[in-house]
Amino acid sequence: MARPMNPLPNTDTHTADPHDRKLVDFAHGLRTLREKAGNPSLATMSQRSGVCIALLSGAHGGHKMPTWRTVEGYVHACGTDSAGWRAKWERLQLAQRTARARSGHASIVRNWARLRYITPPQWPMNEAELAEILDQARRFRGLSLRDMAHRSVGFSHHTYGAVLRGDRPVTADILLAILHACGAGPGEVRRWMQVLARVRPTEELRVRSLLAKMPAPRASTRHRAGPPGRMSGGRGGSMGGDNFRGAPGGRK
């Protein structure tokens, strides 16, 4: 007979946050699956799945995100098809990553406030995280989507919204337009463009083309963000000219 499982973490306290609650809900689902399978012992489940007892116990513990291999073995040991659980596990993984990203975003914003200019974070990002952090930059500058469309000609507020929500990809042209609207300086633009080239290698050639049109950064000058709508730097004191529009032609 299987030993009783330890109680799940309490999500009703003021210290519980949303991603912890989702983790506990996922663990509860695994426990329910095990009970429906006749409550096999962890030793039996380990033999059936090839997953060690400690990992199986941790999967329904509700304290730590289990790997897909562990979940797959757990579900298989309960005699259930794992296909439906893959989507559940991926949703939980996304919630966990989002929660960590929000925590990281707070430190980024504090850094922007301290330095007075917007620079990309140092850790590796994916496309979704890049869009989220760019949206943080927009909010940090106090800009609405319509403000951005007015300050950086070439894209409509609908397009900015779709990109910053992650519904459309971040391209080199729209990244330049977003940074222009946020008042980023040339040094900041170069850093963000380099990040984009890493995140989306298909944009690397366009990134190089746009950077080639920019004035070379001055080693002795530290660029700080100017007022929204202008990018300080260059011989004329402004980088809001044709070379730094979000995209040629009309709004998109």
Please state the pTM of the whole predicted model. 0.50
Q: How many CB atoms lie within 10 A of CB 200?
A: 19
Domain stops at, among 63, 94, 125: 94
Residue recorded with tokens 């730097």: 233
pLDDT of the residue at 243: 36
Q: List CB contacts of 171: < 8 A, sequence separation 6 or more.
A: 200, 203, 206
| Angle between helical axes of 186-199 and 172-181 (0-180°, round to 10) | 150
Domain stops at, among 94, 124, 156: 94
Reading the block at residue 18, the tokens are 């949303």
Reading the block at residue 87, the tokens are 């989507």
In terms of domains, do 128 and 226 share one?
A: yes
- Report yes or no: 60 and 30 within 8 Å, Cβ to Cβ: yes
pLDDT of the residue at 207: 96
Number of domains in the chain: 2
Nearest Cα residue to 230 out of 151, 140, 120, 143: 151
Examine the pLDDT at 218 and tell me if it is beyond 70.
no
In terms of domains, do 82 and 159 share one?
A: no
**CA separation for the pair 158, 248 (Å, rounded):** 17
In terms of domains, do 31 and 121 share one?
A: no
Helix, strand or coil, per DSSP, at residue 181: helix
CATH number at residue 61: 1.10.260.40
In terms of domains, do 131 and 239 share one?
A: yes
Domain that residue 192 falls in: 116-244
In-domain check, residue 81: yes
The radius of gyration of the chain's CA atoms, rounded to the nearest angstrom, is 24
Element holding 96 (H helix, E strand): helix 83-115
Least confident piece of the model among 107-116, 127-136, 192-201: 107-116
pLDDT of the residue at 92: 86
> How many Å separate Cα 109 from the centre of its chain?
15
Residue recorded with tokens 């991926």: 90
Tell me the per-residue pLDDT of 112-162, one tens digit each, with 9 for 90 and over: 888 888 999 877 678 888 998 999 899 888 889 999 999 987 899 999 999
> How many Å separate Cα 191 from the centre of its chain?
18
Examine the pLDDT at 239 and tell me if it is beyond 60.
no
**CA separation for the pair 188, 111 (Å, rounded):** 14
**CA separation for the pair 42, 30 (Å, rounded):** 13
| pLDDT (average), residues 25-34 | 94
Nearest Cα residue to 56 out of 35, 44, 36, 71: 71
In-domain check, residue 222: yes
pLDDT of the residue at 29: 95
DSSP designation for 153 = T
**What is the overall mean pLDDT for the chain?**
80
Confidence label for 105 from pLDDT (cuts 50, 70 and 90): confident
